[in-house]
């Protein structure tokens, strides 16, 4: 894969920091993204994803740190970076009373694109929007609106696409199609950094980066991130998992106990302690539910990372005050 060649680094930032007033919302973030990669940027609300993305694409000046985006210096060449990346914001704005084609034509004028009519037509065809080109943007469903937003972000043929929660509120099929499109674009050499809260989307990325309280706390492939968490999971299946959940949550060695229908996922760092806890909870509740080792999910890992970051933040702020 092209992404394995180290010279093809598209984003390379070091120690990026941003403060708003007293609050450090991005705290010495370093990351690199290579050509053709799709990298997922995950983390709780307010953890600094959008702020980081805005600093990478030249929209926001960092207070500290340095780096390059598309080989350009993020401090010196912000204006050039802005024109060369595709950026799809959380709230993509378009003109509701213009058609899909007219909206894209408007964006093409902003970018001062040559051969505007042909470029708009090619983009409509590329993104499967051609049949709907005369439909008013305001009348589109959520999935088609996202597709229009994606079309507007890639029309000037950027080498890097920054997507900020591109599929929030979009149904599963439309999300799946959106992601198929992202993979098609990446296989043509486009590099993608995408923030999301959806686990299934994280699993469609080549790599993920998890940020909490402005600091990166995990990174790697999904398998690597799960493995490095050191968590074990036991799945308890039966009728009364709600009652078992309440009991087992209080047992030592249990970090999480989450019912999924008739299954209960019990998660903790020490497999032996976890088994003792589950056995004790089954005995205490008199349940005949069946307990078996299960796979730890990415969501389990993220919940743990978030809780750990929260605890660290509390203790740091506690000391400071």
Ligand X SMILES: Nc1ncnc2c1ncn2[C@@H]1O[C@H](COP(=O)(O)OP(=O)(O)OP(=O)(O)O)[C@@H](O)[C@H]1O
| Number of chain positions touching ligand X (CB under 6 A) | 10
Segment 19 to 58, residues that bind ligand X, using CB under 6 A: 20, 25, 43, 45-51
Give me the least distance between CB of 47 and ligand X, in Å please: 4
Closer Cβ to ligand X, 61 or 246, answer by number: 61
91 near ligand X (CB under 6 A): no
C-alpha span between 178 and 184 (Å, rounded): 10
Query: Could you write out the three-class secondary structure of 167-220?
Result: CCCCCHHHHHHHHHHHHHHHHCCCEEEEECCCHHHHCCCCEEEEEECCEEEEEE
Give me the least distance between CB of 23 and ligand X, in Å please: 7
Closer Cβ to ligand X, 43 or 62, answer by number: 43
191: which residues sit within 8 A by CB, 6+ positions away? Answer: 10, 11, 33, 34, 35, 36, 37, 38, 159, 160, 161
Closer Cβ to ligand X, 43 or 58, answer by number: 43
Give me the least distance between CB of 43 and ligand X, in Å please: 5
Closer Cβ to ligand X, 86 or 294, answer by number: 86
Closer Cβ to ligand X, 36 or 43, answer by number: 43
Per-position x/- string for 243-262, each x denoting binding to ligand X as judged by CB under 6 A, each - no binding: --------------------
Q: What is the largest CA-CA distance in the chain?
A: 74
Dihedral pair phi/psi, residue 258, rounded to 5°? -125, 120
Token pair for residue 234? 């036991």
Positions that interact with ligand X (CB under 6 A): 20, 25, 43, 45-51
């Amino acid at each position: 894969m092209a992404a394995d060649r180290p010279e093809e680094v598209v984003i390379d930032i070091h120690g990026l920091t941003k403060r708003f007033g007293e609050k450090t919302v991005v705290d010495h973030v370093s990351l690199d993204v290579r050509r053709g990669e799709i990298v997922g940027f995950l983390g709780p609300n307010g953890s600094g994803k959008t702020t980081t993305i805005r600093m990478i694409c030249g929209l926001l000046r960092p207070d500290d740190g340095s780096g390059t985006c598309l080989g350009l210096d993020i401090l010196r060449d912000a204006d050039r970076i802005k024109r060369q990346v595709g950026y799809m914001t959380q709230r993509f704005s378009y003109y509701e009373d213009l058609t899909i084609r007219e909206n894209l034509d408007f964006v093409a004028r902003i970018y001062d694109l040559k051969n505007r009519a042909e470029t708009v037509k090619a983009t409509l065809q590329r993104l499967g929007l051609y049949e709907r080109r005369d439909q008013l943007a305001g009348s589109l469903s959520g999935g088609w609106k996202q597709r229009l937003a994606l079309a507007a972000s890639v029309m000037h043929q950027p080498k890097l696409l920054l997507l900020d929660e591109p599929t929030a509120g979009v149904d599963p099929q439309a999300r799946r199609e959106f992601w198929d499109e992202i993979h098609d674009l990446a296989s043509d050499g486009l590099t993608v950094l995408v923030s999301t809260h959806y686990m299934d989307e994280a699993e469609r990325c080549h790599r993920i980066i998890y940020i909490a309280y402005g600091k990166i706390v995990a990174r790697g492939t999904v398998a690597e991130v799960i493995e490095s968490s050191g968590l074990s999971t036991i799945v308890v299946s039966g009728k009364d998992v709600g009652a078992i959940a309440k009991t087992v949550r209080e047992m030592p060695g249990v970090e999480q106990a989450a019912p999924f229908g008739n299954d209960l996922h019990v998660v903790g760092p020490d497999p032996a302690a976890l088994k003792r806890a589950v056995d004790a909870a089954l005995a205490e509740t008199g349940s005949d539910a069946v307990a078996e080792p299960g796979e730890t999910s990415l969501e389990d890992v993220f919940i743990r990372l978030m809780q750990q970051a929260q605890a660290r933040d509390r203790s740091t702020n506690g000391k400071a005050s």
